[in-house]
Amino acid sequence: MGALLVIWLLAFGTLWVAFRINKWCRAQARWWRVLPRGLLVFFTLLTMFAVTETVFRYFLDITDSGIQSRIARRWVDRHVRHNPKGFRDRTHALEPLPNRFRVAILGDSMVFGIGTDDPEDRFANRLEKSMTEASGVTTEVIKMALPGWSTRQQLEYFRENGVRYKPDLVILAYFINDIQGIDPSEPQFEFRRHWLTDFFTTHFYSLDFFDCQYSPARIKATHELDAWFRIVFKNEKVLALHGQDLAKIQEISQAQDSQFVAVILPVPALMADGQERNSINATFRRLMEEHNIPYLDLWEKLKDYPHERMRVSAWDRHYSLEGNRIVADAIHECLESKGLFPKRAQTESE
């Protein structure tokens, strides 16, 4: 607040000085006459920055993919509420209630719902409602998901805690970056700002946001990580270890008499590139098939959908409201076609 007030005071102080010296400069040498104009230009630029900072500081409510900027972290503070287990979900009893169909969804930030203000708009919550309405059986969907979780982390949680909820159906919401945490050559990044950059980004929301999105170091890191993903999906050793983690989740589910299915979630940023999409998706399918893992391929199902409308914004790759809706509808349709829906309750007359 103090820094923004200084900018506004400086802007209008510059304007006042420009008008005060304007008359005096007219009687001086010609080169003096550019001074008021220069001050007015400085005032205009300073005012534009002050307006931008005001909007970012008080009005914008947006996210970025990695929740790196202060404005994105503020979004989390405003919209995210955790249950006692640390998930963005209501509290669920360990023992399922009678006459209910319990679904556990394992995932990362796509299930968590980064960028979705109301958790009821997430595809997992939409799926809970649509399954209840379509089957006539109350469906309870437990969201076991945190931003940044890999398949290995999901496995560890499900093995130690998630299985205790005794779900009837386990859905693994599989995203492209879930393979992280296995390959020792995976790039690691630690961003350190220059002291001057750190000073300005600490005091101004707008500069912090643009630094998080467009600084050369972060752009380079993004490109390096993208390149690593393209390489790691060709590393048979890493794929084998990753497939074993997927198979273990299925094994644990089946040991508890739970049905299991992996849902391959589409990546909006890659949907426009047909060749790359098909190559990565083929790897996903092969990975599932080699380990006998039942899966639902949403990449293929939604490949013709406009990818720009599926994501929150140019800065956030997570699903928008429309993206959550179409993903929920696609999962619903696939589950029903695979016979993974709860059996419709019979009426007394039946």
pLDDT tens for 79-133 read: 999 999 999 999 999 999 888 999 999 999 999 999 999 999 999 999 999 999 9
Average pLDDT over residues 140-157: 96
62 vs 82: CA distance, rounded Å: 19
The residue among 27 and 338 whose pLDDT is bigger is 338
Q: Is pLDDT of 58 > 60?
A: yes
Tokens of 99: 């006459």
- Per-residue confidence (pLDDT) for residue 170, from 0 to 100: 97
Question: What is the overall mean pLDDT for the chain?
Answer: 85
Identify the weakest region by mean pLDDT among 153-162, 183-192, 217-226. 183-192
Helices (H), 146-215: 151-160, 195-203, 205-214
Q: Is pLDDT of 293 > 50?
A: yes
CB under 8 Å to 208, separation ≥6 — which residues?
Answer: 69, 70, 71, 201, 202
Predicted structure pTM score? 0.86
**Backbone angles phi and psi of 135, in degrees to 5:** -95, -20
Residue type, 126: R
Q: Is pLDDT of 21 > 70?
A: no
Quickly state the pLDDT bin for 46 (edges 50, 70, 90).
confident
- Per-residue confidence (pLDDT) for residue 348, from 0 to 100: 36
The share of the chain scoring above pLDDT 70, in percent, equals 84
- Per-residue confidence (pLDDT) for residue 27, from 0 to 100: 54
Find the radius of gyration of the CA atoms of the chain: 26
Cβ-in-10-Å burial (0-12, 13-18, 19+) of 166 comes to middle
288 vs 300: CA distance, rounded Å: 15
Q: Is pLDDT of 52 > 70?
A: yes
pLDDT tens for 232-289 read: 888 899 999 999 999 999 999 999 999 999 999 988 766 555 566 677 788 888 999 9
171 vs 129: CA distance, rounded Å: 16
Please tell me the total number of residues recorded for the chain in this structure: 350
Tokens of 193: 């700002």
Tokens of 157: 């949680």
- Per-residue confidence (pLDDT) for residue 34, from 0 to 100: 61
CB distance 318 to 114 below 8 Å: yes
CB distance 103 to 263 below 8 Å: no
H or E stretch at 324? helix 321-337
The residues facing 100 across adjacent strands are 138
The residue among 191 and 321 whose pLDDT is bigger is 321
Average pLDDT over residues 152-159: 96
Sign of CA dihedral 17, 20, 23, 24: negative
Average pLDDT over residues 325-345: 88
- Per-residue confidence (pLDDT) for residue 20, from 0 to 100: 62
Quickly state the pLDDT bin for 347 (edges 50, 70, 90).
very low
Average pLDDT over residues 333-341: 91
CB distance 121 to 323 below 8 Å: no
